[in-house]
Every structure is written in C-alpha cells, then in structure tokens.
Amino acid sequence: MATLEIKNLHANADEKEILKGLDLTVESGEVHALMGPNGAGKSTLANAIMGHPSLTAREGQVLFDGEDITEAAPDERARLGLFMAFQYPVAIPGVTITKYLRSVMNAHRVARGEAEISLKEFRKTVEEAMELVNVPREFTTRYLNDGFSGGEKKRLEVLQLALQKPKIAILDETDSGLDVDALNVVAHGINEVAKANGTGVLIITHYQRILHQIVPDRTSILMDGRIVREGGPELVDQIETTGYEQIRADVAAAATK
Ligand SMILES: Nc1ncnc2c1ncn2[C@@H]1O[C@H](COP(=O)(O)OP(=O)(O)O)[C@@H](O)[C@H]1O
Ligand SMILES: [Mg+2]
C-alpha cells in the first residue's frame, strides 16, 4: 500500500499562481480520475507531483506515505515509487526501445542499491510486461519515439508502466490524440497493470472518453487551481451531460452565498 497525499498545495509557475490550495489523495490499488477544463491546472499539478523545476510550491505539502517530498528531486520521487507519463514524450533517435527500457530499469535498481539486471532476466521481464499490455514484439526493436504515432508513444508509456511497477502512476492526457483502436489498447493495458501490480493510477484528462473503459474508483474535478467536486464514476457521467460550465456556475453561486 502507498498513499500520495497533496495538502493545501499552492504553486506558482513563474510569477503566476496556478494551484490555489489543492487537496487530493491517490492510493495504490485505486484508479482516481482527475478531470477539469483546459487551463485548470491539471498538468501543473502533475508536474508539481513529480517535482518539475519550473514550479515553486509556495505553501502546502506533497506527501508520499507520510514522507514530505514537496522539495524532493524528481529522481528521488521516482525511486520512492512514483511514475509519470509525460504529455509530450521526447524522441531519442538511435536508442532502441529495449535499450532505453533496460537503462531506465537499471537506473532504478542502482538507485535502490541493487545490481543491474542481467540480459536474460531483462528479456523475461519485458516479455511478461509486453504480454500483459498487448504490445507486439517487433515494437521493442524500434528507435525511441522516432517517427512514432501518438498511439505508439502511449503504448510505450503503458509498457513502461507495466515494467516499472510503480506504486502510483500519474498519467497526464494519456488519451489525447488516440484513435479508437489505440485507446482500447492503452485502456486495456492500464486496467491490467492496475489489477496485476496494484498500481494506483491518477488519470488526468479533460475528456471523459477513456473513463468509459477505465472506470475510476474516485473522480475529482479541478477548476481554477482547486478541487471543486469529488465523487465516484457517476461524476464522469454528470460532466458528460452538463459540461464543466454547470459545475463552474454552481461553484460560483456557492461562493457568493
Ligand atoms: N510556465 C508557466 N508560466 C506561466 N503560466 C503557466 C505556465 N505553465 C502553465 N501556465 C498556465 O497555468 C494554467 C494551467 O495550465 P495547465 O496546468 O497546463 O492546465 P491544464 O493541464 O489543466 O490544461 C494555464 O492558464 C497556463 O497558461
Ligand atoms: Mg494539461
């Protein structure tokens, strides 16, 4: 079990206050959906959780299993068991996927004081992960993100997720730009990983489509730097019917009461 707890987080990007007292909890073994309109602060929150240097936490805390990681370096957070899939992954031409995955895995092992993984053991682990998330074998001999379609990039993220077995994963707009087939593969992979490894998943999206296939245990709505609604999967349906504007109006009305 692991718990990621964000308490009263205020964060600035440059001089602008983006997160304005945000509270959120994500636990291993649960799928938590974070929804909100464009510009609400979702990616800013993801970056704050991973310790992106462009953000300053002015107030509040990020806790991982009770340990304060508000100021921890990104690799320290990764070592504790946090994983983040980036909205815009980089391309590293000339590095095959296999080589990349192995070096990431070894970096984690070395950080934990373990020996590097043998080639044989690595192959076995990758094969299991590929099977779990339905990634074809020829995929791993390709070069990292070089000419990848949106769907292929996301598939790689899911493969990494299966391989790394983090305690908690933050997936920012994993569904963006995916066609139906790619979405199905990615959603299936995330469900399998959550089930097989007990990974807690924070799915960040402004669009409810992926949440029909990965049914969240909990849903939180982020607007203007704060969580304004919390609930279960029914909140996803509500947004689908009424849009964010209704919630925005309700929040504004409650504030002036
Ligand atoms: N580095 C930055 N400097 C100034 N403003 C930023 C920076 N990064 C994001 N913002 C602003 O913060 C707000 C929230 O952005 P973001 O977290 O990307 O929203 P979302 O992911 O919910 O669409 C937006 O108004 C955006 O323009
Ligand atoms: Mg975003």
Domains and CATH numbers, the chain: 3-256 (3.40.50.300)
pLDDT tens per residue across span 59-102: 999 999 999 999 998 888 888 899 987 555 566 777 888 888 89
Listing DSSP states for 1-32 in one string gives --EEEEEEEEEEETTEEEEEEEEEEEETT-EE
The residues of the chain scoring below 50 in pLDDT are none
How many Å apart are CA 230 and CA 84, to the nearest integer?
A: 23
Residue type present at position 183: L
- What atom in ligand 1 is closest to the CA of residue 44? 17
Residue 86: predicted pLDDT: 59
Report the separation in Å between the CA atom of 84 and the middle of ligand 1, taken as the mean of its atom positions: 18
Ligand 1 centroid–CA 131 distance in Å is: 37
Residue among 201, 227, 199, 222 at smallest CA distance from 213: 201
The closest of 84, 64, 67 to 161, measured between CA atoms, is 84
Q: How far apart are CA 255 and CA 90, in angstroms?
A: 42
Cβ of 40 less than 6 Å from ligand 1: yes
Supply the residue whose CA is at minimum distance from atom 7 of ligand 1. Answer: 13
Strand 218-223 versus strand 31-35 pairing type: parallel
d(CA 91, CA 97) in angstroms, rounded, equals 11
Q: Tokens 């790394």 — which residue? A: 164
Q: Determine the Cα–Cα distance for residues 166 and 82; give it in Å rounded to an integer.
A: 6
State the pLDDT at residue 89. 55
Given this model, what pLDDT does residue 18 score? Answer: 96
Q: How far, in Å, are 17, 26, 43, 202, 226 from residue 40 at the CA level?
A: 12, 19, 9, 16, 8
